[in-house]
Amino acid sequence: MKSPSQVLDPFFKALWPFFKSATRSFTDRRISLWFALVGLVVALLVTLVWLAGRYEASQYQAELDRDTVDAVSDIRRSLTNHSMNLQSLTARSLSAKHWRAEAEGLLSQHREWLRVERRGLQGLIIEHASSPFREPLFDGITRLHEQVEITQTCTRAKRLNGPAYSRTYFVPQANGLGFEVMEMCLPKIEQGATVGYTVLTYSLQDILASQLGETYGRRNEVSFVEPDGTRLAVYGSLPRGKRFFSATQLMNLPGNTLVLRMDGRRAGPDLFPNVLPALVTAMSIALVSVLVLLVKDSRRRLKAEQDLADALAFRKAMEDSLVTGLRARDLKGRITYVNPAFCQMVGFEAEQLLGASAPMPYWPTEMVGEYQRRQAVRLAGNAPPREGFESVFVRQDGSRFPVLIFEAPLINAVGKQTGWMSAFLDISEQRRVEEMSRASQERLQATARLATVGEMASLLSHELNQPLAAISSYATGSLNLIDQHQSLADQPGPSALSDLHMAFERIAAQANRAGKVINSVHDFVRRRDQDREAVSPRAIIDAVLPLVQLQARKLNVRLSIQLDDKLADVVCDRTMVEQVLLNLARNGMQAMDHPQCLNRVLTLHVKRAASNKAQGWIEFDVIDLGIGISDEISQNLFTPFFTTKAEGMGLGLSLCRTVVEQHGGHLEFEPNLPGGTLFRFTLPTQA
Ligand code: ADP
């Protein structure tokens, strides 16, 4: 099978490279578009996941910030409460014993309190009490190292008329550890004047533990830090986790500013920390899956499109290369499709034909009625004969031509008839060839006949010489007899008259015979155009007999004519059949014209065909005792112009077979044992 590009017409071939390059660039562009889409989707998904992670982190950071602010305000509130608790201790002038008892009571309520001191206006310690939860922090009563700091703080408290806080400092312990502590000084005011102070020492770590431990300390690490980041006190521990978050908040106290820092960690996978990113990721996976499916689908569709384009190109090439005209009509008889061959056939453009309905522009005007009736029959659902039917169309230029039409119902994909499909063959060329071959066959026959006639003419001249010579000698004899009686001037006697009578009779007989010979030739030539007729086999034999006899006499052949009884008439072109018989008889006689052939008998036997009795065929056998036919010769026997004779034309047998077969019969031959050949042909009878 040829590929579409091989059978495309030149125009389409010229367009093909452009079409291909256009398709390729279109395909390239489509592929790069797909890549761009995939890239964009991937970028979008990555961004979404990243943003979701970021959002998550910012949420957590905001939460931590909020917690830090809350924590600072919690601490501040409790410090204020502490100062108020202490105020009750400070305001009253208690005895040393009572003061200590109350102070220890307060100390046992607050773990973060390390020590409470009652100081005089000069800053000297009057009473002090330590936390029952730990070893006393300072040795002895005097705290010389811290004195300066405490004095400054108390001065500030006096000035503020309220609590003031010292800077933090580290107090080492005997066990190698120590505390970061902060002092709070509360002035004792009596009648508007400061008369002494109460100093409270805080443990920073315990502030964190008692104030934030329960709430924030579980999830985070809380610490007080210096502005440079140095940690002063830490509580809680950092949970395990990859991502680290931190928030700081300033805590302004009168006389000191602390920085509270809260550190947290987030555990769990960063990619799917919670529902949102998980959702986004799931959607992304779904999106990518859909994308992959789309790509696959598009690839399949691309292939289908390619196949379809190939099939279309193939179909178009096939349609264009067809010489058969194609036309489709819908069920209302309107033309829905014509191929280029049909347009070329009728000389109209496809646009002029599409949509046209009866009467069609290519119908001869006088046939419109008949064609319309035919179309109505077709549209009523009657299928035309499968072998097609003939019709005549007229071209746009007015010339007419015969067409052979095949019609079939047009069935769509769901099996419903949507119209009729017709194929048209322009048979004008076929008609011309048929006519030519008929003419040439006729010419061939005429030539063969002429050859036979020429041969017969020479035989005639030979044969006519005999009766003419006989006539001439009888006439001469008769004249001599008359002259003899005239010179003797006597009346011819009865014997002379009977001689003359006999001579004239012979003259008449010979003239009659010559006339018959001439008539038989005349008949043979004259009857060539006659149609088939019923002829008795005997009449055929009788017609050829004079001519056969002529040659038989010349070649010294004896004729044996055998006709069965009650033979039916045969239906044939009489002249042609006579010629067949004549040819076969002549060939048989010529085959015996050989020195070896001593017994020269030609038998013409007419009988009912043994094998085809029922059908009523008559068989003509022409049997000679000649030299026979060798295998080599028998292969070419019926080939036109094959001859073994110097003066032969080689047309006789091929012509004979054509004639017999035209009558529906067959011509065959077989060896005639012990010598010679039997030619047999059959003809149909009238029955
Ligand atoms: P032609 O007689 O002009 O040669 P034919 O077609 O009649 O042409 O015969 C072809 C050849 O067939 C003859 O030349 C001859 O050799 C051979 N042939 C025909 N009939 C016989 C026969 N009865 N016996 C032997 N040979 C024959």
The DSSP string of 413-449 is: TTS-EEEEEEEEEE-HHHHHHHHHHHHHHHHHHHHHH
Ligand 1 pocket member 642 (CB < 6 A) = yes
| CATH 1.10.357.10 for the 531-684 domain, yes or no | no
Indicate which residue's Cα is closest to atom 21 of ligand 1: 587
Q: Ligand 1 centre and the CA of 674: distance in Å?
A: 19
Q: Ligand 1 centre and the CA of 587: distance in Å?
A: 6
Q: Ligand 1 centre and the CA of 651: distance in Å?
A: 9
Burial state string for 67-80 with b = 16 or more CB within 10 A and e = fewer than 16: bbeebbeebeeebe
Q: Ligand 1 centre and the CA of 463: distance in Å?
A: 24
Ligand 1 pocket member 130 (CB < 6 A) = no
Angstrom CA distances, 524 to 34, 188, 658, stand at 91, 173, 18
CATH of 432-527, one of 1.10.287.130, 1.10.10.10, 1.10.260.40, 3.40.640.10: 1.10.287.130
Separation CA 624–CA 599 (nearest Å): 10
Ligand 1 pocket member 677 (CB < 6 A) = yes
Ligand 1 pocket member 645 (CB < 6 A) = yes
**Which regions of the chain carry the CATH code 1.10.287.130?**
432-527
Per-residue model confidence (pLDDT) at position 1:
41
Closest ligand 1 atom, CA of 679?
23
Ligand 1 pocket member 637 (CB < 6 A) = yes
Ligand 1 pocket member 675 (CB < 6 A) = no
Contact 271, 277 (CB under 8 A): yes
Per-residue model confidence (pLDDT) at position 539:
93
Q: Ligand 1 centre and the CA of 563: distance in Å?
A: 25
Separation CA 216–CA 73 (nearest Å): 13
Per-residue model confidence (pLDDT) at position 8:
42
Per-residue model confidence (pLDDT) at position 681:
95
**Which regions of the chain carry the CATH code 3.30.450.20?**
75-267, 324-426
Task: Point out the residues of the chain with pLDDT beneath 70.
Answer: 1-27, 30, 139-142, 239, 241-242, 267-277, 451-456, 458-463, 489-490, 492, 520-531, 611-615, 687
Ligand 1 pocket member 404 (CB < 6 A) = no
Ligand 1 pocket member 591 (CB < 6 A) = yes
pTM score of the predicted model: 0.41
Ligand 1 pocket member 622 (CB < 6 A) = no
Instruction: Give me the count of residues in the chain.
Output: 687
The end-to-end CA distance of the chain, in Å, is: 53
Closest ligand 1 atom, CA of 588?
23
CATH number of 324-426: 3.30.450.20
Ligand 1 pocket member 326 (CB < 6 A) = no
Contact 362, 393 (CB under 8 A): yes
Q: Which CATH superfamily includes the segment(s) 75-267?
A: PAS domain (3.30.450.20)
> Which of 653, 660, 670 is the best mutation target for the ligand 1 pocket, counting ligand atoms within 8 Å of the beta carbon and taking the most?
653
Ligand 1 pocket member 459 (CB < 6 A) = no
Smallest CA-to-CA distance from 557 within 525, 494, 517, 600 is with 600
Closest ligand 1 atom, CA of 650?
8
Q: Ligand 1 centre and the CA of 454: distance in Å?
A: 18
Q: Ligand 1 centre and the CA of 609: distance in Å?
A: 24
**Which regions of the chain carry the CATH code 3.30.565.10?**
531-684
Helix H or strand E encompassing 197: strand 193-203
Per-residue model confidence (pLDDT) at position 3:
41
